Amino acid sequence: MHKKNARNDKITYTKFIAMSIKNNILSIQSTLPEGVRLVAVSKFHPVETIREAYDAGQRVFGENRVQELADKQPVLPPDIEWHFIGTLQTNKVKYIVPYIAMIQSVDSEKLLQEIDSQARKINRTVNVLIEIHIAEEASKHGFLPDECKELFTNDLSKKYPNVKICGLMGMATFTDNVGQVEREFEKLHDLFEEIRALPQTDEAVFQELSMGMSDDYLLAVKQGSTIVRIGSKIFGERNKRNT
Ligand SMILES: *Cc1c(COP(=O)(O)O)cnc(C)c1O
């Protein structure tokens, strides 16, 4: 008797979670202008949870650890578009290059080089974003705006033919100061436009600006974001210490 109730409770709870994941996705989608894509950040969440989001129609997911992604990818539907959004060590690039849809967190030229070389080995072209350091926090990764401009004036597409540089990614400072977050997104958008206008940049490819997370995505969208990366607003809180 007791056992049966526990089981029913579990089913009800699972349904509740599934319902709310679906509702969360729908309600976020309804606030996104056309052309802005939602990456559901599923790090630290189990495959069953990802499947709930998949069943609700979500196809683009973001992960930030190679091992975790390598565990999840083979057991989930093949039409999921996986985006890598975390720190990526060069020696691990080869594990994700065969299937990754986009590596959003390219924070050094060495990494770009490695992605290009691993992609060439398997005759693939990998979509990437260059990560820009716009936040005040020293803990965040990425190129400084000037380093980024220098990178692009060096004719990247000729140097790395097996990567497609689709745009920029950045994270704002973790703060309640809305003005500051807005300014940082605006700065990133300005840099994006500046690089897009360079003669060396292929405008047909360089089109994405990935900025905005659960707490600041509406500000990011206002500043011209084309990709938002949202985790906790879809799946609930994670253990923040692990991020
Ligand atoms: C975890 C993470 C996110 C999602 O964060 P939420 O606040 O849970 O939406 C977005 N981008 C990056 C790079 C992340 O590591």
Q: What is the mean pLDDT of residues 24-45?
A: 97
Long-range contacts of the stretch 207-210 (C-beta < 8 A, 24+): 207/166, 207/167, 208/129, 208/166, 208/167, 208/168, 209/167, 209/168, 209/169, 210/39, 210/104, 210/129, 210/167, 210/168, 210/169, 210/170
Rounded to the nearest angstrom, the distance between the alpha carbon of 234 and the centre of ligand 1 is 11
Q: What is the position in ligand 1's atom list of the atom closest to the CA of 238?
A: 8
Binding site membership of 230 for ligand 1 (Cβ less than 6 Å): yes
pLDDT tens track for 126-141: 999 999 999 887 777 8
Binding site membership of 64 for ligand 1 (Cβ less than 6 Å): yes
Rounded to the nearest angstrom, the distance between the alpha carbon of 211 and the centre of ligand 1 is 10
Q: Look over the chain and give the mean of its residue pLDDT values, rounded to a whole number.
A: 92
- Range in 79-83, 104-108, 177-181, 199-203 the model is least confident about: 199-203
Binding site membership of 231 for ligand 1 (Cβ less than 6 Å): yes
